[in-house]
Amino acid sequence: MSIKEQAILRAGGNRIRTADREISIIGRIEEPLILILANVLSGTECEALIDFAQDRMQRAKIGNSHVVSDIRTSSGMFVEESENALIQTVEARVSELMHIPVSHAEPLQILHYQAGEQYRPHVDYFSSENVVNNRISTLVMYLNDVEEGGETYFPSLQFTVMPRKGSAVYFEYFYNDPRFNELTLHAGNPVAAGEKWVATQWMRRQRYRDDR
Ligand SMILES: O=C(O)CCC(=O)C(=O)O
Ligand SMILES: [Fe+2]
């Protein structure tokens, strides 16, 4: 039997308290560590993030690419770093929750899936050998309830997470044993009915932003 590797997020029990919120742990896998979290964002915060992204995607089309690729058919945009009070609140909470400084955070990414759209199985880290400042952990926050489909699915673990407004799935892939990292392969299942909005936070091993 091998010894369990050290995780980034050392969360026992059934909740994580951040400065401004009490987040519930409602499911977990140990290795690789995957947590299902409830109450990460309030309903109002979810709605404000969707409004913000919708407005931005329509108004300027900046950073909005309807990706013509097989891997991801949804539309997405990156939120500029700390660009308003809401984003700053979310960034601070998420960084505390993920146990990684905000300076290591990529800009928050907001994705919109319409019926039929999906994100095929992938890992979030870069697989090339000489990547310097790789991603180490992910938080996918669900901004709305999806009528049907749109689950986050981990095919190697046969593990499914249903999107639920304000909830999130957390996973990390900072293991010495590459097999644990590979097990974080995941997909956004096709949305069968309704639409799906998520906000994703990817964390880097080292500093990524130079303003803080
Ligand atoms: O939409 C999902 O459920 C997954 C999103 C995802 O894999 C990502 O943003 O990296
Ligand atoms: Fe992903």
With bands split at pLDDT 50, 70 and 90, how would you rate the model's confidence at 74? confident
Closest residue to atom 1 of ligand 1, CA basis:
188
Q: Give the nearest ligand 1 atom to 202 CA.
A: 10
Which of 125, 184, 186, 196 to mutate to test ligand 1, by most ligand atoms within 8 A of the CB atom? Answer: 186
Collect residues with CB below 5 Å from ion ligand 2: 124
Segment 153-175 shows an average pLDDT of 98
pLDDT value for 62:
42
- C-alpha distances (whole Å) from 119 to each of 91, 97, 122, 177, 211 are 24, 25, 8, 26, 32
pTM over 0.80: yes
Output the CATH code of domain 23-204. Answer: 2.60.120.620
All residues at 6 or more sequence positions from 92 whose CB lies less than 8 Å from its CB, including other chains: 19, 20, 102
Q: Average pLDDT over the chain, rounded to whole?
A: 91
* Confidence class for position 81, pLDDT limits 50, 70, 90: low
Q: 188 CB less than 6 Å from ligand 1?
A: yes
146 lines ligand 1 (CB under 6 A): no
